[in-house]
Structure 1
Amino acid sequence: MSREEIDRRLERLKGEREQITRVLLELEAHQGYQLLKGARLTGVTERRWIDINGRMATLWKLFDAHGKVLGEAEELRARHTKPGQVQLAELTRLLTGTSVELVSGEIPLEERTLLGPTGEWLTLEGVVQRMTPLYEETAGMVASADEIWSALLTRLGEVEETARAVEALHGSLAIREPDFDRIAGLLAAVGETARSDPLSLSSGGRADTSRIDEIGRDLAALRGRLEDAVRIRDEHDERARAIANAIELVETAEHEAAQARETVLAKIASPALPDLPAVSASLRDRLAALEGLRGDGRWLELATRAAELERTVATALDQARETTGLVTGLLDRREELRGRLDAYKAKAGRLGLAEDTALTELHQRAHDLLWTSPCDLRGATVALADYQRAIASRAEGTSR
């Protein structure tokens, strides 16, 4: 190589070395690398770190061997501002020939034998080519481990925050949910694994948070129940008053149903009546029982019982009002039949049938049934139908 070619080659190789230095230092400074380096590792992750650490050691050894030869070339060029043929030949050998000797530890395992090799010679470019896939594989392993670890620790942190919230709720309520200790034990175990052996909690190169997620769901459900209990505690007086007011509405509705039943029994003959609801007294007993739970600080049970009582009271109110409607419906039916009778009589008058004796008798029979107490609704319905048919028959005859 000429002096100019050697100078250009030296300049390019120095630039490459600066780039390699920066990349290797960035890899060592990578968050994932630092986490692996500083953590107390076990299992799969420990074995992966041993592999990564060995690869990094090999990269640095190759880097040092590369630098040693490049440094010799720089020193030789610096000593000879006008190198002769001997110096040019030596510089050419150093920069382009197999001038870098690798000891056995730097030689890939698959290229070794039982008897050696004791060493291997590479060009400077050959060293870089050897380092490139090794670096890429190592960087990929570090990045994958970091991604898995970060995902696990992020999800773990969220679930642990929920666990702390549950613990605080326990303190606020002065109770201890029995299931919490079991869940907390599972969380501690998976947390230890996530911090010391995160790669054992991975699948297909991605973090497997299923165990943490399941614990998170259990804690979230427990937190929800405890928050309901806190809300029940803080809002109990107001809620109890609302339930008491609703029970009063149930009692009023039951009273109205009973009164309607008495009226119907007096005014309607042999009515088919539904059973009267009578649950308001038992509802008041259940409301009183809630105060006992409150006094004992049994907030979780109080939350459940109060919600159940609210639903029961609402159902009871609907049933009482429905019963009243069914009972009073018989009276409404009687009023409907009376109205229809008057309408048919008016129709007969318009048709000039007011003096029809047979129609008058049919009308009187229906009228007597509808205005007699107790009223025979079934008989009145039949009588009204007879009266209607008779009017229709006479109207048809008149039109002919």
Structure 2
Amino acid sequence: MADTDPTGPVMDRDEVDRALARLGAEHEAIETSLLALQDHAGRRLLEGARLTGLTEERWTAAEASITLLWTCFDAYTDALRTARDIRARRRWSSREDLVELTELLRGDPVALAGGSPGRLSERYSLAALVDRMNELYASSLDMVVAADAVWSALPARIDLLAAELQRTSRLAHSVGVRPGEHPAGDDLERITRTLTRLREQVVSDPLAYWKRAEKQFGARRRTARHHGLRP
């Protein structure tokens, strides 16, 4: 009868080596994705912007998720390093080594601060930790990409309209159509103020102008979870 414990049968050397190779590939893919998120232009803009409304609310949550994401990754890195160190002790792992490796690779070796009141910590297997990181990454990336998409498009379009309006206003002034003197002049001034306010709102709360945000967040989250962190 095979030796068993709560994690199941004790892994043999080949199983351990395959698991370490897979976890190493996942670690590399996760690190690449996290660094890309860290360097994302949208994330840098969000960090430096004076946000309001929905964007401020979502970014506060996303920042917390990104911080937790790095905490999870550091814990994953430590667990993988420990497993590699145990495997490197000797070419032919002893039974004690294999038991220890099985607990690390199939058990719940990672403890993180609890996500709900009254829970001091939660324990994760390495596979569950990867799933958790995928969820955090997907939700954070959704928010960053949505804000960046609005910022990349709308301010420039508003600026084009404002420039055209300025030319129109100059032509109007040249023929005596001025604010306070002609209804059309008042209209041009009102439109100018509206565009100025609109640009300020777009810059401070881009998600308010992401029309399909809720629908796309759900679809993008599922896509990112499937493709985002795993190799």
TM-score by length of 2: 0.75
Seen in structure 2, the aligned counterparts of structure 1 residues 5 and 164 have a Cα distance that, compared at 3 Å, is same
Q: What fraction of aligned residue pairs are identical, expressed as a percent?
A: 38
2:64 pairs with 1:54: yes
Matched residues in 1 for 2:62 and 2:202: separation? 19
Seen in structure 2, the aligned counterparts of structure 1 residues 170 and 80 have a Cα distance that, compared at 3 Å, is farther
Q: Quick one: which of 39, 45, 53 aligns to 1:35?
A: 45
Aligned to 1:266: none
- Code of the residue aligned with 2:108 in structure 1: it is T
Secondary structure at the residue paired with 2:88?
helix
Displacement of 1:50 in angstroms is 0.6
Are the equivalent residues in 2 in contact too, given 1:149–1:199 (CA < 8 A)? no
Are the equivalent residues in 2 in contact too, given 1:148–1:199 (CA < 8 A)? yes
2:16 pairs with 1:16: no
Are the equivalent residues in 1 in contact too, given 2:146–2:213 (CA < 8 A)? yes
- Code of the residue aligned with 1:158 in structure 2: it is L
CA RMSD of aligned residues (A): 2.3
5 Å matches for 1:90-105?
A: 90-104=100-114
- Code of the residue aligned with 1:12 in structure 2: it is R
Displacement of 1:97 in angstroms is 1.0
Aligned to 1:149: 151
- Code of the residue aligned with 2:178 in structure 1: it is E
- Code of the residue aligned with 1:198 in structure 2: it is P
Are the equivalent residues in 1 in contact too, given 2:162–2:192 (CA < 8 A)? no
Aligned to 2:160: 158
Matched residues in 2 for 1:164 and 1:10: separation? 64
Q: Quick one: which of 197, 205, 220 aligns to 1:197?
A: 205
Secondary structure at the residue paired with 1:203?
coil
Aligned to 2:84: 74
Matched residues in 1 for 2:150 and 2:176: separation? 37
Matched residues in 1 for 2:170 and 2:12: separation? 78
2:128 pairs with 1:126: yes
- Code of the residue aligned with 2:127 in structure 1: it is E
Are the equivalent residues in 1 in contact too, given 2:62–2:139 (CA < 8 A)? no
Secondary structure at the residue paired with 1:120?
strand
Are the equivalent residues in 1 in contact too, given 2:76–2:110 (CA < 8 A)? yes
- Code of the residue aligned with 1:177 in structure 2: it is R
- CA deviations 1:180-216 (Å, max 9, x no partner) are 433322222111111111223343429xxxxxxxxxx
Equivalent pairs counted in the alignment come to 197
Matched residues in 1 for 2:104 and 2:199: separation? 54
Displacement of 1:130 in angstroms is 1.6
Displacement of 1:12 in angstroms is 1.0
Seen in structure 2, the aligned counterparts of structure 1 residues 175 and 34 have a Cα distance that, compared at 3 Å, is farther
| Structure 1 residues not aligned, in runs of 5+ | 207-400
- Code of the residue aligned with 1:94 in structure 2: it is L
- CA deviations 1:217-255 (Å, max 9, x no partner) are xxxxxxxxxxxxxxxxxxxxxxxxxxxxxxxxxxxxxxx
Displacement of 1:176 in angstroms is 6.6
Secondary structure at the residue paired with 2:165?
helix
Displacement of 1:167 in angstroms is 5.7
- Code of the residue aligned with 2:202 in structure 1: it is A
- Code of the residue aligned with 2:53 in structure 1: it is G
Matched residues in 1 for 2:24 and 2:198: separation? 49
Matched residues in 1 for 2:205 and 2:96: separation? 58
Aligned to 1:25: 35
Aligned to 1:177: 178
- Code of the residue aligned with 1:91 in structure 2: it is L
| Structure 2 residues not aligned, in runs of 5+ | 1-10, 180-185, 215-231
5 Å matches for 1:1-400?
A: 1-104=11-114, 107=115, 112-113=116-117, 116-166=118-168, 169=171, 173=174, 177-178=178-179, 179=186, 180-205=188-213
Displacement of 1:143 in angstroms is 2.2
TM-score by length of 1: 0.45
- Code of the residue aligned with 1:135 in structure 2: it is Y
